[in-house]
Amino acid sequence: MTVGYSLAAATANATTVVRLLLRWHGSVWQLIYRESVVWILLNAFASCIYLFIVKDSSFDDAYKRFLYKMDSLPIEMTLIFLLSFSTSTNLTRWHATFGLLVWPENVAMMFNVHFKDSAVSPNVALRIRRTIVRYLMLAYILLLRDVSSNIRIHWFPTMEKIVECGLLTSQELSLMRSSRMKRTACHYWIPFLWILQIVKKRYRKQNKKASVMTEEGYDQFVEEIISTRGTLGDILSYDWVPLPLALTQTITFFVYCTLFGNIFRLQSRIILQYKTNSHAEAIIVQGISNCFLNVLYIAWLRISQVIVNPFGEDPDDFEAEYLLERHCEVLNTMLCSPQEEVPFAYKKPAED
C-alpha cells in the first residue's frame, strides 16, 4: 500500500518532523527491525565465541590480527557510493513506472464528449457505456495480473474469477482464448481493440444523424485509446527488462558482506582498543556507536530493495487493488451516471 504523508509534511516544523519519524506503517523501522535484531544477535554470538572459546587459546593472537585487518579495510566510501547509486537508480525507475500507469479518465472523458446518446435508444446507449467501463477495467486487470503479484495471487488467480466479478462474460472469455496467442501472453490490448470495434461497427452509418460518433470525434477517440494502450504496454516492457540482475546482486552481496564484516570490526574494537577497561564498558560504548552506522546501511539497502519492484507487496508499493477500485468508481460516475443534467447558470453569476 502506498503510504501518503504529504499533508503531514505540509509545514516543516519540529512537530511534523517528530510525527513523521514516529510513523510505523511503511516506515524504515518496519523495514529494518528484523535485520537489525538478527545483526545484534550475530554480534552477541560472535562475542560469546571469542569470550568462551578463542580467548586465551592458542588462536587468540591470530584472531586478533584478523580483526585488526578487518578494521582497516577502506570500505566506508565504497559502501556509500554503492548504496546511493543503487537507491537513485531504483528510485528513477520507480517514478518512471508510476508515470506509465496512466489513469483511465482521459479515455472516459474523450468517450463522453464524442458519444452521441441520442443516436441510439437510451437502453442501448447505457449498455454501450457500461461495456466501455467493463472493458477499460478489464484491460487494467489483465495488465496488473501480469506485473502485480498481489492482483495475480489474491484477486484474480484465474480468468474465471474475472468472469465471476461480472467484468467479463464467458462468451468474451472463450473468444479471448480462441485467439492464437499463448495463454501466458498478456492480452491486455484485446479490450482496447473491442472498445474501438464496438463503436466502429455502430458509428459507421451512412446516415450522419444515426451515427454515435462523428468521423473526427472517432479519430480523436482512437488516438486517445491507442496512446493509453501504448503507455500501459510500456509497463510490460519495464517488467520484462529489469535492471541487470548482476547489478542488484553485486550491491546486495557487498552490503551484506560489509555488515557481516562489521561484526568482526566491532569485535576488534571492543577487544583491542579497551584492553585496560572492563569488558562491559567496552561493549556498551562500542556497541552503541557502531550500531548507528550499521543501522544506516541496513536501512538504506532495505529501501533500495523495497523499490525494485513497485508492484510487489511491500508497504510502499503501488496499491494495485486501491487503483482498481478507484478506477471502477470514477469510470462508473463518468460514463454511467445520467448525462443530461449539465448545470448552466442562467442567472447573473455572483462575481459580476
As a whole number of angstroms, the distance between CA 264 and CA 186 comes to 50
Comparing CB distances to its own copies, the nearer of 31 and 263 is 31
Footprint of its own copies on 13-32 (CB under 8 A)? 14, 17, 20-21, 23, 26-29, 31
According to CB under 8 A, which one of 180, 183, 207, 275 is a site residue for its own copies?
A: 180
CA torsion sign for 175, 181, 183, 188 is negative
Distance of alpha carbon 27 from the chain centroid: 15
According to CB under 8 A, which one of 3, 41, 53, 210 is a site residue for its own copies?
A: 3
* Contact call for residue 181 and its own copies (CB under 8 A): yes
Within 10 angstroms of residue 200's Cβ, the number of other Cβ atoms is: 12
According to CB under 8 A, which one of 149, 155, 283, 321 is a site residue for its own copies?
A: 149
Comparing CB distances to its own copies, the nearer of 53 and 62 is 62
According to CB under 8 A, which one of 78, 122, 177, 210 is a site residue for its own copies?
A: 78
* Contact call for residue 48 and its own copies (CB under 8 A): no
Which letter, b or e, does each residue of 93-115 get, where b requires 16 or more Cβ atoms within 10 Å of its Cβ?
A: bbeebeebbbebeebbebbeebb
H-helix or E-strand spanning residue 170: helix 170-178
As a whole number of angstroms, the distance between CA 178 and CA 300 comes to 48
Footprint of its own copies on 247-286 (CB under 8 A)? 247-250, 252-254, 257, 261, 274, 277, 281, 285-286
Smallest gap from residue 158 Cβ to its own copies (A)? 17
Contact predicate 140/327, CB 8 Å: yes
Footprint of its own copies on 80-99 (CB under 8 A)? 80-81, 84-85, 87-89, 91, 98-99
* Contact call for residue 46 and its own copies (CB under 8 A): no
Comparing CB distances to its own copies, the nearer of 21 and 41 is 21
Nearest of 262, 259, 242 to residue 83 by alpha carbon:
259
According to CB under 8 A, which one of 175, 205, 272, 279 is a site residue for its own copies?
A: 175
According to CB under 8 A, which one of 70, 120, 125, 283 is a site residue for its own copies?
A: 70
User: What's at 218, amino acid-wise?
Assistant: Y
* Contact call for residue 34 and its own copies (CB under 8 A): yes
Residue with cell string 566510501: 77
Smallest gap from residue 296 Cβ to its own copies (A)? 6
As a whole number of angstroms, the distance between CA 115 and CA 119 comes to 9
115 DSSP 8-state letter: -
Contact predicate 66/264, CB 8 Å: yes
User: What's at 148, amino acid-wise?
Assistant: S
Count interface residues toward its own copies (CB under 8 A).
157
User: Would you call 346 helix, strand, or coil by DSSP?
Assistant: coil
According to CB under 8 A, which one of 55, 57, 106, 121 is a site residue for its own copies?
A: 106
According to CB under 8 A, which one of 39, 43, 134, 143 is a site residue for its own copies?
A: 134
According to CB under 8 A, which one of 39, 144, 318, 327 is a site residue for its own copies?
A: 318
What dihedral do alpha carbons 189, 126, 171, 153 form, nearest 10°?
60
According to CB under 8 A, which one of 57, 121, 158, 289 is a site residue for its own copies?
A: 289
Footprint of its own copies on 235-254 (CB under 8 A)? 237, 239-250, 252-254
